[in-house]
Amino acid sequence: MAGAADARASTAAARVVMFPLPFQGNLSPMLQLAGALSARGLAVTVLHTAFNAPDPARHPGLAFVPVPVSLPESVVAGNDGNTKVFDLNAAMDASGSVVRDALASLLNKPGEPRLACLIVDAALPAVQKAAAEIGLPWLVLHTCSAACFRMYGSYGLLYGKGYLPKQESNLYLPVKELPPLQVRDLFDPSELPNQETVQKTMNLWNQTKMNSGTIINTFEALEGHELEMIRGELATNGIAVFAIGPLHKLSPTDGTMTSLLEEDCSCIEWLDTQAPCSVIYVSFGSLTQLSRDEFTEIAWGLANSGKPFLWVARRGLVRGVEKPELPEGFQRALLEGRCKVVEWAPQQKVLAHSAVAGFWTHNGWNSTLESICEGVPMVSRPIFGDQFANGRYVEVVWKIGFLLEGMLERGNIERVIRRLIEESEGVEARERAKDLKKKAITCLESNGSSKLVLDDLVHHLLSL
Ligand code: UDP
């Protein structure tokens, strides 16, 4: 396998080193970008932690180098996605020399293409700092939406104007500077438990703001206004912005190649037996957790909706339980063939299946983009981080789904599913989702916006 990567490297004009954040939703877009750059003739090396390491055998064109950073339990086995990111950066910063040495070992290697730059996940300021220390230019990949990029970049304003920290009294207040977000949609770092770690990461963030380019996994027709605002803001620092999404469609690297968990493909055979546009697909991504009660309410809400459904009940989905157990009596729904429950699905293939009518999602950015690209309308139930802002955009800006607000309770769930699948509002949301899918396809054509941006990005990398 190393042979293919070596053969490619010997003819490449330059090498790019990439450092993903080791969580599924961040790893996939970085590997997709790696695949797209490799297909354009660049040599690519992926540095990674032992935790959630990608499988090199699935990426024969890329080189992989493990970085021996020891990570705390809160990252490896912890529950809270936000805490994981902040603790991971603290660990990376504490082992700064390890990261720095790994980057430095790729500089000036005889017989190798020159190392042009690092592309690093935006949520890894500790790695950006290490690059700055050895004088290696770096670009930042944002695996969130452009709207969330703006939210993360506005903390000075959000605290300055009193939107944050959140208070009971201002949750429904519109954030005038970031429409259509409301205060309750914002990610509020002051709510996190370890404020010392949060502060340290924010400081790292500020130290590494100057970079050689900002890459965002979105596309012009989806977030044109947000991108225009970002370009305006970054132009003063001379930072180029590359809106290069949807990466999972732009890249030859598919979901199976980047999946950390084994996909249960029997769900595709099950979908083949279902009527066209009838099934609701339910998944809350790789990190979110629910209480036992919420899990039970979801099970009965889905069963009572009367619609066929495919549900990803991932290990660890229910807090404190290794493998979620379906409630008693629920087996009947399974036996009637009206539902299929799996631990992990080939999500991109599921969303592309003609039997799927809707997606109940937590609105992680990858899931949101994947749904948009297949023209599938959504029920949105954000749980943490950027998911609230994504859900707001789904309902208010693109109008391709509905937020499921309030208690996660079986009656509410049943109603929102019927609204999406049966009612005229759902039909309209599906029509708009199909239109948006057409726009996504257009941006990937040979003179489409994201294809042209990929050309620009390759030129830019070669110029560094
Ligand atoms: N995913 C998958 N199978 C599943 C559930 C999720 O392959 O059963 C993939 C999904 O396609 C997406 C990623 O896992 O690419 C989840 O990323 P997202 O940003 O949506 O959410 P996160 O896991 O980061 O919360």
Give me ligand 1 centre to Cα 367, in Å: 6
* Residue 328 reports pLDDT greater than 60: yes
pLDDT band at 390 (very low <50, low <70, confident <90, very high): very high
| Distance between CA atoms of residues 92 and 205, nearest Å | 13
Averaged pLDDT, 50-57:
95
**Mutation test of ligand 1: which of 286, 290, 390 has the most ligand atoms closer than 8 Å to its C-beta?**
286
Distances (CA, A) of 403 to 146, 392, 436: 20, 7, 18
Q: What is the number of the ligand 1 atom nearest to the C-alpha of 387? A: 25
pLDDT tens-digit series, residues 85-97: 888 888 888 887 8
Residue with tokens 């950027």: 386
Give me ligand 1 centre to Cα 350, in Å: 12
Distances (CA, A) of 163 to 184, 234, 262, 391: 10, 23, 42, 19
Q: What is the reported pLDDT for 445?
A: 96
Give me ligand 1 centre to Cα 24, in Å: 7
Give me ligand 1 centre to Cα 104, in Å: 33
pLDDT tens-digit series, residues 168-189: 999 999 999 999 999 999 999 8
Give me ligand 1 centre to Cα 9, in Å: 31
- 241 or 109, greater pLDDT: 241
Decide whether any atom of ligand 1 lies within 6 Å of the 371 Cβ: no
Q: What is the reported pLDDT for 6?
A: 65
Q: What is the reported pLDDT for 3?
A: 58
Give me ligand 1 centre to Cα 184, in Å: 24
Averaged pLDDT, 254-258:
93
| Distance between CA atoms of residues 75 and 88, nearest Å | 6
Burial of 173 (0-12, 13-18, 19+ CB in 10 A): middle
What is the overall mean pLDDT for the chain? 93
Per DSSP, the residues of 68-81 read -----HHHHT-S-H
Q: What is the reported pLDDT for 88?
A: 87
**Mutation test of ligand 1: which of 21, 23, 24, 309 has the most ligand atoms closer than 8 Å to its C-beta?**
24
Whose C-alpha lies nearest to ligand 1, atom 17?
25
Give me ligand 1 centre to Cα 418, in Å: 24
257 SS3 class: helix
Decide whether any atom of ligand 1 lies within 6 Å of the 54 Cβ: no
First to last CA, the chain: 29
Decide whether any atom of ligand 1 lies within 6 Å of the 259 Cβ: yes
Decide whether any atom of ligand 1 lies within 6 Å of the 295 Cβ: no
pLDDT > 90: what percent of the chain?
79
* Residue 64 reports pLDDT greater than 50: yes
* Residue 296 reports pLDDT greater than 70: yes
* Residue 1 reports pLDDT greater than 60: no
Q: What is the number of the ligand 1 atom nearest to the C-alpha of 285? A: 23
pLDDT band at 2 (very low <50, low <70, confident <90, very high): very low
Whose C-alpha lies nearest to ligand 1, atom 21?
364
Q: What is the number of the ligand 1 atom nearest to the C-alpha of 344? A: 8
Give me ligand 1 centre to Cα 213, in Å: 26
Give me ligand 1 centre to Cα 56, in Å: 20
* Residue 371 reports pLDDT greater than 80: yes
- Asked whether the beta carbons of 148 and 389 are under 8 A apart, the reply is yes
| Distance between CA atoms of residues 434 and 416, nearest Å | 20
Q: What is the reported pLDDT for 198?
A: 81
Task: Provide φ and ψ at 324, rounded to 5°.
Answer: -60, 135
Task: Provide φ and ψ at 250, rounded to 5°.
Answer: -75, -25
Decide whether any atom of ligand 1 lies within 6 Å of the 286 Cβ: yes
Q: What is the reported pLDDT for 335?
A: 62
Decide whether any atom of ligand 1 lies within 6 Å of the 255 Cβ: yes
**Mutation test of ligand 1: which of 367, 381, 384, 388 has the most ligand atoms closer than 8 Å to its C-beta?**
367
Q: What is the reported pLDDT for 4?
A: 64
Closest listed residue to residue 47, CA positions, set 118, 110, 144, 150:
118
pLDDT tens-digit series, residues 211-240: 999 999 999 999 999 999 999 999 888 999
pLDDT band at 8 (very low <50, low <70, confident <90, very high): low
Distances (CA, A) of 278 to 62, 300, 340: 40, 18, 13
Q: What is the reported pLDDT for 203?
A: 79
Averaged pLDDT, 292-318:
94
- Asked whether the beta carbons of 283 and 259 are under 8 A apart, the reply is no
Averaged pLDDT, 302-315:
94
Whose C-alpha lies nearest to ligand 1, atom 15?
366
